[in-house]
Amino acid sequence: MADSAHDAQRIGTREREESISVLGEHFEAGRITAEEYGERTATAGAAVVRGDLTTLFEDLPEPRPSFLRPPLPQAPPPGVVPGSVPVAGLYAPPPMPQYQFSPKSKVAAGVLNIVLPFGIGRFYAGNTGIAVAQLLVTIFTFGVGALWSFIDGIVLIVNGGLDGEGRPLRD
């Protein structure tokens, strides 16, 4: 049960509307009847403090309005890295994640897409779905669709992309 100071906080239109929306989800799921839905939405529309809305959701499972969910855990003290382990009174940072890069090059994929505008760069990177789409668009638009491959090649060179396994292309 929430504390009385929290329940006594005044609410605004956003909280009332979010509560009515979530009640609609419960009604659609069949958790409350049409009569209960009408009563609860009327109560939510007239609510003044959080406690008025808290009672509407006490007997319902998730989802709940975001402002009625439990607060997130407190942040660690300044200078302490989350997930770190105390070592002799000091905190050691957690190990850095190792990112797996693709053996394929973003520059090679981009240049192939520009020079051979039939999705060849996407085939090289392992994105066969996009590659086939670029190939078919280029064929069925009598070459006009090559513009897609050309622009995609520039985007690959500038921003990079992912290979067929979701790994970032290397520089």
- pLDDT tens digits for 6-39? 788 898 888 888 899 899 899 988 999 999 999 9
155-170: pLDDT as tens digits: 889 988 888 888 888 8
Q: What is the 3-state secondary structure (H, E, C) of 94-147?
A: CCCCCCCCCCCEHHHHHHHHHHCCCCHHHHHHCCHHHHHHHHHHHHHCCCCCHH
Give the DSSP H/E element, type plus range, for residue 87: strand 85-87
pLDDT of residue 83: 62
For the question of whether the overall pTM of this predicted structure is more than 0.75, the answer is: no
108-137: pLDDT as tens digits: 999 999 998 888 988 999 888 888 998 898
User: Of the candidates 29, 30, 52, 51, which has an alpha carbon nearest to the alpha carbon of residue 41?
Assistant: 52
Neighbours of 169 (CB within 10 A): 23
Side chain identity, residue 110 = G
Q: What is the mean pLDDT of the chain?
A: 82
